A and B are shown apart, each in its own frame.
Chain A
Amino acid sequence: MRRVAIIGAGMTEFGELWDQSFRDMGIRAGFEALNDANLTSEQIDALYVGNMSAGRFIEQEHVAALIADYAGFAKNNTPSTRVEAGGASGALAIREAFMSVASGLHDIVVVGGAEKMTDISDEEVNAIQSSAADQEWETIFGATYPSLFALMAARHMHEYGTTREMLSAVAAKNHKHGSMNPKAQFRREIKPEDVSKSPMISSPLRMLDCAPISDGAAAVVMCPLDMAKKFTDRPVEILTTAMASDSLALNQRRSITEMAATKIAAKKAYNRTGLKPSDIDLAEVHDNFTITEIMAVEDLGFAPKGSGGKFTLEGKTTVGGEIPVNTSGGLKARGDPIGATGVAQIIEIVQQLRGDAGKRQVPDAKIGLTHNVGGTGSTVIIHILGVPQ
């Protein structure tokens, strides 16, 4: 396998982008990434797009061809592939692109992730998001995405003594980080008490435990590491990609206070790179709900099982702490345009490893990890990135 590097990155601001369509966002992110890598569309061998549900959000399928067309690739007849894995669609696109470059099939590949979620009502968005859960075993009985994660949170509180205060600490910390990210949807700090007092969505999860509905697009450019120096002085290497799946429905899992797919994918990623959790300088983890981040820091091995909440409350995941988590603001504050999220996580690590993260910069960051989840943990994709040695 060839070593693979990221040589360019670009993204739109995340948020309610009322004046940008799906294609506008795709173009903006794509051009920013190409400019960052000093490339033109003629040099691109392939395009991968992560997108969960453009068909339902904007009634547009076949979005890989659409983005290729509007990014100026159509005239080159560039192969363009759209992939979907619920909330992990963005990371899946990264993984597919990585494999195509590592295998030698393609040299220069663009990966985009995009979702336009605000053209329809909140109720419709909720229904579409929930369709990443099991439609026959869960949602047909009235389960929604928040209610399934609420079950996990309630059980985690019961088994490990995780508290309201700990959940609130996750959201407050991610808003603090988001306040330092110019592309974040929420660039304002909130107090843990604000989270604890926000309206109940599905007990015990409250409104400020949940990631928002967002529009946004993100893109990166990859090539073999040995070619990277031609395009940039600061390539960031993708050290490994690891993926695991699990049952679609929550009721089939042995435990709902962990994501087995996270543990398995993490084990693969650590084994392949020879790294330990303590070697990771920072991580972008999936925090669609505060409980998801608490489980992630445990399942990724940063904190012992059951202590993720306490770990967060003690400030260990804040910039300046032991292992800064979601320095971008995470899904909670940066925003969660589903297909774009996994790509935006990669971009945050790239910026941090390049030393470009401004006020939220983690000093001497050399190795970063991303963790992207589809459904309630039915798909987990982990990438570890590093400054090439």
Chain B
Amino acid sequence: MDVGIVSYGAYVPRYRIAPAEIGRIWGLDGAGLGRGLMVEAKSVPSPDEDVATISVEAARYALRRCRVSPQKIGAIYVGSESHPYTVKPTGTIVAEAIEATPALTVADYEFACKAGTAAIQTCMGLVKSGMIEYGLAIGSDTSQGAPGDPLEFTASAGGAAFLIGSKEIIARIDHTVSYTTDTPDFWRREGQVYPSHGGRFTGEPAYFKHIISCSKMLFERTGTKPTDFKYAVFHQPNGKFPLRVAKQLGFSDEQVKTGLLTPKIGNTYSGAVPLGLSAILDEAKPGDRIFVVSYGSGAGSDGFDITVTDAIEQYERSAAPTVKEILSNFKLLDYGTYAKFRGKILLGGE
């Protein structure tokens, strides 16, 4: 039985802040830092937006593009490291909002930046086993960066939803592999407002080791090489890392550029690979093969070998905005407004 993506939807908040503006406040060369990280701006959620609203927006766009009744969705998994509640699922809010309740299973996932791809894998398994007809996998975040911390220059917001099923699939997922170790490069403990990270330890022994190992597993499993793929998308904590990892693996900038969104919106964490994949599906043609590898700190990578099917020709892509269209509508904020929006200003009595 073929399993794959039946529909997808993406959402990114329209507010942005530029690295130079963040640097202005903290006495840092923000513009230079931004150039180094290859990030021109990062997305900022408005005060009324959180992982629940972003997930709902993305899920609604996914449903708008297909004729699947939400009542046929047997599972919803929302992957995020910024769920609005510590105890109480985000997924139930999404399920109610899209009218998928009550005959379904729901759970929230957390695996740093790769919880969204883990949700896709879970849905694939449930569909393939026949337990459900359709599953909705969402990766979405309003990630946190402590004021003045290097993370603040990239930690942003956004998400994407994928309806996984076996009928009328627009993109077949032929293989998925995962590479997981216990590598403490980035973490946030119970009760902490902002995450901690291991500085440069988050690079070579974490991001690069896991993505490269997972990619090699996927090449081996599928008997493929980089030139077999039209597109590639990797986790993108900044603009520099995914380009470097792509080069190390033998992919060209051309293969990576469509799914590389970090330069415009920053690191959307659990939303990063799902959004990159959405941007690729926005323009992909039948037969296009897509190489996908996520990365989540802690640490692990999920890899996918995806092939776009003929069904994408009849698919109503234009029923919801493309990633490009979503990103074209933005408004730059000053640091004060950003701080207010992100709840960084403590009000009396708090």
Chain A residues close to B by CB (< 8 Å): 16, 18-19, 118, 121-122, 199-200
Contacts of A19 in B (CB 8 A): 205
A199 touches B199 (CB 8 A): no
Contacts of A121 in B (CB 8 A): 199
A16 touches B29 (CB 8 A): no
Contacts of A122 in B (CB 8 A): 199
With the chains together, A122 CA to B205 CA distance in Å? 17
Contacts of B201 in A (CB 8 A): 16, 18, 118
- Give, as a whole number of angstroms, the nearest-CB distance from B128 to chain A: 37
Among A18, A118, A122, A199: residue with most chain B CB under 10 A: A18
Query: Nearest 8 CB-CB pairs, A to B?
Result: A18-B205, A199-B32, A199-B29, A121-B199, A122-B199, A16-B200, A18-B201, A18-B204
With the chains together, A16 CA to B199 CA distance in Å? 12
- List which B157-177 residues lie within 8 A (CB) of chain A: none
With the chains together, A121 CA to B205 CA distance in Å? 16
Residue of B nearest to A15 (CB): B204
Contacts of B32 in A (CB 8 A): 199
Contacts of A16 in B (CB 8 A): 200-201, 204
- Give, as a whole number of angstroms, the nearest-CB distance from B148 to chain A: 12
With the chains together, A121 CA to B204 CA distance in Å? 16
Contacts of B199 in A (CB 8 A): 121-122
Contacts of B204 in A (CB 8 A): 16, 18
Q: Is the interface of B mostly helix, strand, loop or mixed?
A: helix
- Show 14 residue pairs from A and B whose CB-CB distance is below 8 angstroms, ordered by the A residue: A16-B200, A16-B201, A16-B204, A18-B201, A18-B204, A18-B205, A19-B205, A118-B200, A118-B201, A121-B199, A122-B199, A199-B29, A199-B32, A200-B29
Contacts of A200 in B (CB 8 A): 29
Chain B residues close to A by CB (< 8 Å): 29, 32, 199-201, 204-205
- Give, as a whole number of angstroms, the nearest-CB distance from B185 to chain A: 10
Contacts of A199 in B (CB 8 A): 29, 32
5 A-B pairs besides A19-B205, A118-B201 with CB distance below 8 A are A16-B200, A16-B201, A18-B201, A18-B204, A122-B199
Residue of A nearest to B33 (CB): A199
- Give, as a whole number of angstroms, the nearest-CB distance from B35 to chain A: 10
With the chains together, A19 CA to B199 CA distance in Å? 16
- Give, as a whole number of angstroms, the nearest-CB distance from A337 to chain B: 15
With the chains together, A358 CA to B29 CA distance in Å? 41
- Give, as a whole number of angstroms, the nearest-CB distance from B28 to chain A: 9
With the chains together, A18 CA to B200 CA distance in Å? 10
Residue of B nearest to A122 (CB): B199
With the chains together, A118 CA to B185 CA distance in Å? 13
- Give, as a whole number of angstroms, the nearest-CB distance from A335 to chain B: 14
- Give, as a whole number of angstroms, the nearest-CB distance from A119 to chain B: 9
- Give, as a whole number of angstroms, the nearest-CB distance from A118 to chain B: 7
- Give, as a whole number of angstroms, the nearest-CB distance from B18 to chain A: 18
- Give, as a whole number of angstroms, the nearest-CB distance from B212 to chain A: 15
With the chains together, A18 CA to B209 CA distance in Å? 12
Residue of A nearest to B29 (CB): A199
With the chains together, A199 CA to B199 CA distance in Å? 18
- Give, as a whole number of angstroms, the nearest-CB distance from A168 to chain B: 17
Residue of B nearest to A200 (CB): B29
- Give, as a whole number of angstroms, the nearest-CB distance from A388 to chain B: 43
Contacts of B29 in A (CB 8 A): 199-200
- Give, as a whole number of angstroms, the nearest-CB distance from B181 to chain A: 12
With the chains together, A121 CA to B196 CA distance in Å? 11
- Give, as a whole number of angstroms, the nearest-CB distance from A278 to chain B: 42
With the chains together, A55 CA to B201 CA distance in Å? 21
With the chains together, A18 CA to B183 CA distance in Å? 11
- Give, as a whole number of angstroms, the nearest-CB distance from A196 to chain B: 14
Residue of A nearest to B196 (CB): A121
With the chains together, A199 CA to B29 CA distance in Å? 8
With the chains together, A228 CA to B55 CA distance in Å? 73
With the chains together, A121 CA to B202 CA distance in Å? 12
With the chains together, A19 CA to B181 CA distance in Å? 14
Residue of B nearest to A18 (CB): B205
- Give, as a whole number of angstroms, the nearest-CB distance from B183 to chain A: 10
With the chains together, A18 CA to B201 CA distance in Å? 8
With the chains together, A121 CA to B146 CA distance in Å? 15
With the chains together, A122 CA to B149 CA distance in Å? 12
With the chains together, A357 CA to B35 CA distance in Å? 38
Contacts of B200 in A (CB 8 A): 16, 118
- Give, as a whole number of angstroms, the nearest-CB distance from B19 to chain A: 13
With the chains together, A218 CA to B150 CA distance in Å? 33
With the chains together, A121 CA to B150 CA distance in Å? 13
With the chains together, A156 CA to B201 CA distance in Å? 37
- Give, as a whole number of angstroms, the nearest-CB distance from A370 to chain B: 29
Residue of A nearest to B200 (CB): A16
With the chains together, A18 CA to B32 CA distance in Å? 28
With the chains together, A200 CA to B204 CA distance in Å? 25
- Give, as a whole number of angstroms, the nearest-CB distance from B149 to chain A: 11
With the chains together, A118 CA to B199 CA distance in Å? 9
- Give, as a whole number of angstroms, the nearest-CB distance from B208 to chain A: 11
- Give, as a whole number of angstroms, the nearest-CB distance from B146 to chain A: 13
With the chains together, A200 CA to B32 CA distance in Å? 10
Residue of A nearest to B197 (CB): A121
With the chains together, A18 CA to B206 CA distance in Å? 10
With the chains together, A16 CA to B209 CA distance in Å? 14
- Give, as a whole number of angstroms, the nearest-CB distance from B39 to chain A: 16
- Give, as a whole number of angstroms, the nearest-CB distance from A17 to chain B: 10
- Give, as a whole number of angstroms, the nearest-CB distance from B159 to chain A: 31
With the chains together, A200 CA to B29 CA distance in Å? 9
Residue of A nearest to B185 (CB): A18
Residue of A nearest to B28 (CB): A199
- Give, as a whole number of angstroms, the nearest-CB distance from B275 to chain A: 30
- Give, as a whole number of angstroms, the nearest-CB distance from B332 to chain A: 24
With the chains together, A19 CA to B204 CA distance in Å? 11
- Give, as a whole number of angstroms, the nearest-CB distance from B198 to chain A: 8
With the chains together, A380 CA to B200 CA distance in Å? 32
With the chains together, A272 CA to B29 CA distance in Å? 51
Residue of A nearest to B206 (CB): A18
- Give, as a whole number of angstroms, the nearest-CB distance from A200 to chain B: 7
With the chains together, A199 CA to B32 CA distance in Å? 8
- Give, as a whole number of angstroms, the nearest-CB distance from B71 to chain A: 50
With the chains together, A16 CA to B200 CA distance in Å? 9
Contacts of A118 in B (CB 8 A): 200-201
- Give, as a whole number of angstroms, the nearest-CB distance from B219 to chain A: 24
